[in-house]
Each structure stands twice: as structure tokens, then as C-alpha cells.
């Protein structure tokens, strides 16, 4: 996802797809301490993108977290996306923003981000929302939750056949999210997900985040 359009990064000339890992930060973190943890995790294996997802923090705290964490990701060619805030993503040099269905006007965010910054849109388990996202120029559509998750109260569910349908119908990359682990991700990879977005599987891995990244990449490769 780093650099040019995700579609070019993930789909080869023959149409084959290489699924990649998309990390989302833990729900709460101390930016200075987390910068070290993040660097070790990103150095452990392939990561396409990192989304900073901090809820209920003010703009000053968000800016501080961005200032400390964005260089850690971007210096490793990992795209740095901001959750919920296209405006702040532009102001702070992020590579893009991820917006949900209640996170404002998607078309306006697309304009604000311009052609060089990515826009990802949550589409739950809905073909209709995904097609709408494609029409307004999203760079990827996110489907979920595929499995139960304790990271947030996920009110919507998605099934792997949605990923398969999307992949067969459209070029636009898909992200699968929600309760994904190394143990359960194979059907999502096989169904055509371009990215697997995870929180707990990496940050709560019993042997630490670097082991979590290695385990996820091994599972993706083996699927």
C-alpha cells in the first residue's frame, strides 16, 4: 500500500493477488514508548499499512502521536493512515485516512485528500456500501467484522463469500477486518482479501508484536 495505488501494489500482471498485512494501532498507547514497539513490529516482516486509531483524544494528543509514529512507518515504506480524520491527515502529512459510515461526507474527504493520499472506507458486510465507496473514489473498501472481536463493539458481520464476490467483480482492493488471527485468516486470504487488518493478533500476541507480525505473514503465505 505504500507508495503508489494499492491496486498496483497487490495485483500482479496475471491478476493474481498478494494479500498483505494492515496493522491498526492498539486503542490506547503512549506515543513515545509505542514508537519503539512499533519499530520492532514493522522490522519483523512485511506490513503494507499502519492506521493510527485513537478514540477520545484531543487534536493536540493526536498530532503528537502522528509526529512520533508517522516517521517510524513512512521511513520503512509503510503507509501511515489516520482513523476518522481526513482533515488532520492532510495537515500532518499522513498517507491517507480511513473513514467509517458515520465519519462525515466521503466525497468531501476524497476532495480534501486529493489524488495522492489514500481514502479507505468501512463497508461492513454490504455490497451496496462498497459500490458507493468505489463510486466516490475510495482506494480500498473494508469489510467486517469477520470474527468476534474484543477490540471494539463491532455491530456488523461479513462473510468470506463477500470478499470473493468483490474480488471477482471489481479491481478495487478489499480489506478484511475483525477478530482476524493467524489461526483463522486462511479463508479470507483464499477468498481474495487484498489486506488483512488486525489489532489484537499482533499487539496482544503472547510472544510480543514482532512474533505477531511473523505469525500473520506466515499464515498469509500458507493460506
Ligand X SMILES: Cc1nc(C(=O)O)sc1CCOP(=O)(O)O
Q: Do the strands 118-122 and 96-99 form a parallel or antiparallel pair, or are they unpaired? A: parallel
Which lies closer to Mg ion via its Cβ, residue 143 or residue 191? Answer: 143
**How many Cβ atoms sit within 10 Å of the Cβ of residue 16?**
8
Long-range contact list for 212-215, CB < 8 A, 24+ apart? 212/41, 213/21, 213/23, 213/41, 213/42, 213/44, 213/45, 213/47, 214/44, 214/45, 215/182
Q: Should residue 154 be labelled a site residue for ligand X when binding is judged by CB under 6 A?
A: yes
CB of 15 to ligand X, least distance (A): 27
Question: By CB under 6 A, which span of 34-42, 74-82, 102-110, 175-183 interacts with ligand X?
Answer: 175-183
Q: Which is nearer to Mg ion, 81 or 189 (CB)?
A: 81
Within 97-126, the residues that bind ligand LCLJCK34 by CB under 6 A are: 98, 100, 103, 120, 122
Query: 175 and 195 in contact (C-beta within 8 Å)?
Result: yes
Residues that bind ligand X (CB under 6 A): 24, 122, 144-145, 149, 151-152, 154, 177-180, 198-201
Q: Annotated binding residues, as ranges?
A: 51-55, 83-84, 103, 122, 149-152, 179
Amino acid at each position: 500500500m505504500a507508495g503508489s495505488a494499492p491496486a498496483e501494489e497487490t495485483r500482479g500482471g496475471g491478476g493474481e493477488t498478494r494479500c498483505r498485512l494492515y496493522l491498526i494501532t492498539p486503542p490506547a498507547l503512549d506515543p513515545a514508548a509505542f514508537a519503539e514497539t512499533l519499530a520492532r513490529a514493522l522490522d519483523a516482516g512485511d506490513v503494507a499499512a499502519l492506521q493510527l486509531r485513537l478514540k477520545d483524544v484531543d487534536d493536540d494528543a493526536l498530532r503528537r502521536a502522528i509526529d512520533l509514529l508517522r516517521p517510524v512507518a513512512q521511513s520503512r515504506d509503510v503507509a501511515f493512515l489516520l482513523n476518522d480524520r481526513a482533515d488532520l491527515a492532510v495537515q500532518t502529512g499522513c498517507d491517507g485516512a480511513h473513514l467509517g459510515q458515520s465519519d462525515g461526507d466521503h466525497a468531501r474527504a476524497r476532495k480534501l485528500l486529493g489524488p495522492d493520499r489514500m481514502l479507505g472506507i468501512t463497508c461492513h458486510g454490504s455490497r451496496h456500501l462498497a459500490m458507493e465507496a468505489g463510486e466516490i473514489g475510495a482506494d480500498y473498501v473494508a469489510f467486517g467484522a469477520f470474527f468476534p472481536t474484543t477490540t471494539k463493539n463491532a455491530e456488523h458481520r461479513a462473510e468470506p463469500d463477500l470478499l470473493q464476490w468483490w474480488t471477482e467483480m471489481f479491481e478495487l482492493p478489499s480489506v478484511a477486518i475483525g477478530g482476524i488471527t493467524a489461526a483463522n485468516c486462511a479463508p479470507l486470504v483464499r477468498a481474495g482479501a487484498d489486506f488483512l487488518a488486525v489489532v489484537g493478533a499482533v499487539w496482544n500476541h503472547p510472544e510480543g508484536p514482532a512474533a505477531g507480525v511473523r505469525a500473520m505473514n506466515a499464515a498469509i503465505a500458507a493460506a
